[in-house]
Amino acid sequence: MTAKAYRLLKAIMETAVDDELITRNPCRIKGAGKDRTAERRIAAVAQVDALAEAVGMRYRLMVYRGAYGPMRPEELAGLRRRDVDLDNLRVRVRLAEPERMNGRRVQGDTRSEAGTRTVILPAFLRRELRRHLESYAEPGPAGLIFVGEKDAPFRRSTFGRKWRKAREIVGMSEGFRYYDLRHTGHTLSTRSGATLKGTMVRAGQSSEKRR
């Protein structure tokens, strides 16, 4: 916003120079009109483990899936048992269920064509995934993978409280968001040898430009 305002002011001053209202444009700070993308926060592997432990058994898989099977929260909310291939550790991302301001979820397509994809999970998540399916997921092929306590619908606000508490317990900054786990997963994946394109496909991004 600051860069945008500076560009507008500079344009106004240029017009004033052209109209001979002033002799020169006072907006001469180099780079002041350029937008700067904030550096994404990245968690260490030990911090991801600590967050998963602190958030509690019901939601620990969300932490691991956020980091190592990069999916958006609305995509996790839309996952069904039929989307999960436990034997081959593959998850088919077909739908997203964003939560509206009134708490209701609306089922729809993923954000882009690249959003519909198959996510391959690391082998160490097999145990976590099996335990979650046995203990917390709804029954039947159409059963939701993530539900709230006492079989209530999964609520972003409820998970948000758990997340903030876990973050405090682990000692991470308030600026580290759940969404930053996706970027953590991207970074760990590329460091381990995956190509940028392959990482983006796993994460459901349609271009190599960060959003």
Model pLDDT, residue 102: 55
Q: Average pLDDT for residues 185-203, to the nearest whole number? A: 52
C-alpha to C-alpha distances, 59 to 9, 54, 108, 115, 131, nearest whole angstrom: 48, 9, 23, 23, 12
Q: Average pLDDT for residues 141-170, to the nearest whole number? A: 89
Q: Is the pLDDT of residue 12 over 80?
A: yes
Top CATH class of 45-203 equals: mainly alpha
Strand partners, 144: 80
Model pLDDT, residue 108: 53
* Cβ pair 86, 133 in contact under 8 A: yes
Interatomic CA distance for residues 45 and 47, integer angstroms: 5
pLDDT tens sequence across 114-154: 467 888 888 889 999 999 999 999 999 999 999 988 878 78
* pLDDT top residue among 185 and 108: 185
Mean per-residue pLDDT of the chain: 79
Q: Is the pLDDT of residue 166 over 90?
A: yes
Percent of the chain whose predicted confidence (pLDDT) is above 90: 32
Model pLDDT, residue 13: 82
CB-side neighbour CA atoms (13 Å) of 128: 21
Q: Is the pLDDT of residue 45 over 50?
A: yes
C-alpha radius of gyration, the chain, whole number:
22
DSSP letters spanning 103-140 = S-B--EE-SSGGGSEEEEPPTTHHHHHHHHHHHTSPSS
Q: How confident is the model at residue 197 (pLDDT cuts 50, 70, 90)?
A: very low
Q: Is the pLDDT of residue 68 over 70?
A: yes
pTM above 0.75, yes or no: no
C-alpha to C-alpha distances, 14 to 1, 3, 19, 31, 32, nearest whole angstrom: 20, 16, 9, 17, 15
Q: What is the Cα 23 distance to its own chain's centre?
A: 49
* Cβ pair 97, 105 in contact under 8 A: yes
Q: How confident is the model at residue 164 (pLDDT cuts 50, 70, 90)?
A: very high
Enumerate the domain spans of the chain: 1-36, 45-203
Interatomic CA distance for residues 197 and 69, integer angstroms: 15
Q: How confident is the model at residue 207 (pLDDT cuts 50, 70, 90)?
A: very low
Q: Which residue has the tokens 């991302």?
A: 93
